[in-house]
Amino acid sequence: MNRKLIAGNWKMNGLRADLQTVRDVCAAIKGEKTAPETLLCVPATLLVAASATADGSALRIGGQTCHSRQSGAFTGDVSAQMLQDAGASYVIAGHSERRTFHGETDEIVAAQAASAIASGLVPIICVGETPGERTSGETLQVIERQLTGSLAGLEAASAFVIAYEPLWAIGTGKVATPEQIAEVHDHVRGFLANRFGAAGNAARILYGGSLNPGNAAEILAISNVDGGLIGGASLKAADFLAIYTTACALEG
């Protein structure tokens, strides 16, 4: 069984006053390897402060995106090595909001992931279908196409995480059924095992899509669900820690 990863994505939320949430999480989580790994992906403006706050604790800090190049004339962008220098150990790549609002393609996501790995970061590579693709029965084909393109060039030895986030369940309050989640996660596991062998079985697969304290126990117990990529519920320490506590019980 893979060690669970409970990851929060603050998105475009968070000011210095919100570092209290980081402090609260640091104070509550355990450092033992039998406990789930915890991660908060904060805005770039808070990376240095959040990393300093979490220093010495079991909490990891991550970025929310990175450019595929390490430096250059890309005004407003942030490179993977900048994130690493600021204290990040993970970075999200290809979140549906980046794919939708910033036109990030599978090719771009693959380049971001490669840049992250080269900089010592672990990329969390996101895939997921639209409502229309779900309705038309294309979910597994879409997921496989995104995986094929977004993992292009990655070696079996590369450390990465996959996050399945159905677009119709992000910030909507809708949650995929256990059967829907299991079908996709099992398919992703099969793809990874076929592509990377034993390393594909070791890669963690997260569920992201309105995961909250109320549904965490059911979702985190599903086959091949190795944790969650949590949006709104990660902004409040109490909610995030409730999910973490649930994951602790499942790790047993």
Average pLDDT over residues 37-61: 98
Q: Is 32's pLDDT higher than 90?
A: no
- CA-based nearest residue to 128, from 103, 104, 156, 99: 99
Say what the pLDDT of residue 141 is.
98
Number of Cβ within a 10 Å radius of residue 64: 24
Q: 190 with 144: CB under 8 angstroms? A: no
Say what the pLDDT of residue 169 is.
87
Tokens of 153: 């060039």
Say what the pLDDT of residue 210 is.
87
pLDDT tier at 164, thresholds 50, 70, 90: very high
- All structural domains of the chain, each given as residue ranges with its CATH number in brackets, are 5-251 (3.20.20.70)
Q: Which percentage of the chain shows pLDDT scores above 90?
A: 91
Orientation angle between helical segments 178-196 and 139-150, nearest 10 degrees: 40
pLDDT in tens, 239-248: 999 999 999 9
Say what the pLDDT of residue 171 is.
75
Determine whether 165 is an active site residue.
Answer: yes
Residue 222, burial from CB neighbour count under 10 angstroms (0-12, 13-18, 19+): middle
Say what the pLDDT of residue 31 is.
84
Say what the pLDDT of residue 174 is.
80
Say what the pLDDT of residue 71 is.
96
Tokens of 117: 């790995």
Choice among 95, 104, 129, 133 that is catalytic? 95
pLDDT tier at 122, thresholds 50, 70, 90: very high
pLDDT in tens, 167-207: 998 877 787 999 999 999 999 999 999 999 999 999 999 99
pLDDT tier at 30, thresholds 50, 70, 90: confident
Determine whether 95 is an active site residue.
Answer: yes
| Predicted structure pTM score | 0.97
Average predicted confidence (pLDDT) for the chain: 96
Q: Is 84's pLDDT higher than 80?
A: yes
Average pLDDT over residues 213-240: 97
Q: Is 213's pLDDT higher than 90?
A: yes
Say what the pLDDT of residue 161 is.
98
Q: Is 34's pLDDT higher than 90?
A: no
Residue with tokens 């599978």: 106
Q: Which percentage of the chain shows pLDDT scores above 70?
A: 100
